[in-house]
Amino acid sequence: MTLLNMGIEMSSSQQSNSYTVLINDVVSDLMLVFIVIVLAIQSAKSLIIANGWFRNWKYSKIIYGNIHSDIAKIATEHTIKYIGADNTFYKNNSVYTPLTRNGTLKIDITQARIMAFRLLSEHTHKFPHPVVYGKNTPSSSNYYIKTMEASHQYTSLQLMSMLLYLKYASIINEVDIINFIITPKMGNTLLGKNFSELCNATFIASKPENDSSRVKDNNNSFIIGSNFEGYSSLKARLQDGNQLHGAIIDCNCSGGSTLIETANMFNNFISKNGLEDKIKRITDVYVIFRADINISPDEIEAKFSSNNLRIHRLFDLDESLKGNLHELTITSDEREKDKKIEFMLEYAKNNKLLR
């Protein structure tokens, strides 16, 4: 081989090595750019989640994923632990009702309130101006808690049912064992149905007076069982011979007029059809919270009492507490959240909002 040929071969080899080095450099640079982009996206995503930005955007799931369901699932598991049941109980959807009033149920109503604050904060919406809601007693607020939206998430629905169950179990020595549940058809029937399954109770949806499918007789009287969807199942249980006890269930109320109206309609139905020996008149109403203190807690209880009813709930919310719930949404540090919830509990206690 001549020196010229050797020189050409060495030059070709060096050129090949240069290309290889160049390709490796480009690939490395592209990988580095890709990693930087991924890290930047993750950082931006974490910042958005921490501040609660774009929560109402129709494509928010791209950013938030199943974070709300995961939070609710963890909270549900904690609640199950506090009432003395294990995961087998939850997964098998077994029924645990304190029928003997001396079961092993562990009641921690403070923990139930903490769970409720955490759950409701995920569904508290702030408006730039006051909005009005409520039927006979309209309430004005800059906040609205979307409990119906929460009920569409299975884990949130389970947690809401557990919270109501904890309230029911905490006063079990003062109230009737629940055999059937009535929820206004315009209320949270998903919660009513889910709670009835937890209590092994019959579920009934009550049609309001303005329901187009409401059945009336010639005297325009509310006496036909068809207006209580699910009454046929309750009627079948009347053959057992034991007097049945019911309760009104909903996620929340403001002035309570719809719940009172529902109880009165069913109690009138019992009287007009001579069912007093088989079905006890309803005396108890359960909600997770009350969203309106334009009527004070004492006034709302007097309103229910004047209709021979009692209203049971975990707490009442004023405008300040609603604002605190909204702030929890944009607080990412768990220790900071715990401090805020502790403050909220103390505030509610001092203002007689814990019920």
Nearest alpha-carbon partner for 164 in 178, 146, 143, 149: 178
Residues 6+ apart with CB under 8 A from 130: 140, 141, 142
Over residues 69-83, mean pLDDT: 50
Report the distance separating Cα 203 and Cα 234, nearest Å: 8
Q: The pTM is what?
A: 0.71
> Residue 298: is its pLDDT beyond 70?
yes
- Selection from 218-227, 308-317, 331-340 with the highest mean pLDDT: 308-317
Over residues 312-321, mean pLDDT: 94
* Distance spanning both ends of the chain, measured CA to CA: 101
Is residue 228 within 8 A of residue 185, CB to CB? The reply is no
User: What's the pLDDT at 306?
Assistant: 96
17-23: long-range contacts, CB 8 A cutoff, minimum separation 24: none
Radius of gyration of the chain (CA): 29
Dihedral sign, Cα of residue 142, residue 345, residue 247, residue 204: positive
User: What's the pLDDT at 34?
Assistant: 66
- 11-24 tens-digit pLDDT: 555 555 565 655 56
Over residues 64-93, mean pLDDT: 47
Dihedral sign, Cα of residue 288, residue 186, residue 57, residue 73: positive
Report the distance separating Cα 16 and Cα 251, nearest Å: 73
- 246-281 tens-digit pLDDT: 999 999 998 899 999 999 999 998 998 889 999 999
Tokens at 201, concatenated: 């109770």
- 171-191 tens-digit pLDDT: 887 888 899 999 999 899 999
